[in-house]
Amino acid sequence: MKVVDSHTAGEPTRVIVDGGPDLGGGTLGAQLERFKQEHDDIRTRVILEPRGSDALVGALLCDPVESDSVAGVIFFNNAGYLGMCGHGMMGLVVTLYHLGKIGLGVHKIDTAVGAVMVTLHDQNSVSIENVPSYCYRESVEISVKGLGLVTGDIAWGGNWFFLVQGIPVALKLENVASLTRLAKEVKRALASQGITGAEGQEIDHIEFFSAPLSVDANSRNFVLCPGGAYDRSPCGTGTSAKLACLAAKEKLGPEETWVQESVIGSTFSARYSILSKDRIIPTISSQAFICAESTLVVQSGDPFRDGIQ
């Protein structure tokens, strides 16, 4: 299986470019379900140790579904499958360019939750026009072990997020262990108290915010991903969810720039346009860089051929 690795603002992406599973036709949502039900061993083989890591996000390069799209993609991680992944989309775009499959300019890429427009400005600089995003519920109060009463917003940016402004731990790299523990407690509290996204969907991403450390940023965040790893980047879908909340509260206007800083200090530049009364279209910009081209090998008799689970 041939893969290309990249990172976007520090967060890694591994794209399967050859040797992936045959998922047949149909929508990417249907193909994702087929991947999940019939080929999940490939997900674990690519993502888990000893070949991968908890921070790694995988992307299966697929044929486009829509006639004017250049490619399709299914995203996955150590815990399962993702509808959309902002940093992963940027990694996919620079990978396609690296392989000579696309040139600079505007392209359309199909995902399981809808088509995404991307602009490749140069070999490393990408803007993605994400799926419609919205703030589902504002100022939701939950009781969290170790934190007490916590107030946050629930928003969709391609994945479900619970966004919390201000916790008693600085959003710094040396505090990642404590931040991870607290974010897991928030996630447990949401589940135990029956708080979900629309139509009962699980809120599987937790996002903490604070004032930025950089004078050029508007905010700093820490994002806990579904598999328990923190996002090294500012998180594309998480930044989209943040924009949706800012728009709903009229704290950021259309086309105004919001610079989101990650817990490692990398940044995404973001803005939005209005789609409808309660929906926005976020545009996220950053840089992604190719790290490696590899062939993953499976040998007979390997007890961890499908990853350490």
Mean pLDDT of 188-212: 97
Residues 6+ apart with CB under 8 A from 298: 45, 305
**pLDDT score of 244:** 98
**pLDDT score of 17:** 97
**pLDDT score of 236:** 95
Q: Rounded distance, CA 185 to CA 202, Å?
A: 15
**pLDDT score of 289:** 98
Q: Rounded distance, CA 154 to CA 88, Å?
A: 22
272 — pLDDT class (breaks 50, 70, 90): very high
Give residue 266's region: left, alpha or beta (phi > 0; psi -120 to 50).
beta
Catalytic residue among 62, 135, 225, 235: 235
Q: Rounded distance, CA 33 to CA 37, Å?
A: 6
106-118 pLDDT per residue, tens? 999 999 988 999 9
**pLDDT score of 113:** 86
Mean pLDDT of 242-260: 97
Q: Pairing relation of β-strands 57-62 and 160-165?
A: unpaired
Residues 6+ apart with CB under 8 A from 296: 1, 2, 3, 19, 45, 46, 51
Residues belonging to the chain: 309
Catalytic residue among 62, 85, 135, 225: 85
83 — pLDDT class (breaks 50, 70, 90): confident
pLDDT at 25 exceeding the cut of 90: no
Mean pLDDT of 48-56: 96
Other C-beta atoms within 10 Å of 293: how many?
13
Is 235 in the active site? yes
pLDDT at 213 exceeding the cut of 90: yes
275-289 pLDDT per residue, tens? 998 999 999 999 999
Q: How far is CA 114 from CA 22, 95, 108, 190, 203, in A?
A: 21, 20, 10, 27, 19
Is 85 in the active site? yes
Please state, rounded to an integer, the average pLDDT across all residues of the chain: 96
**pLDDT score of 114:** 87
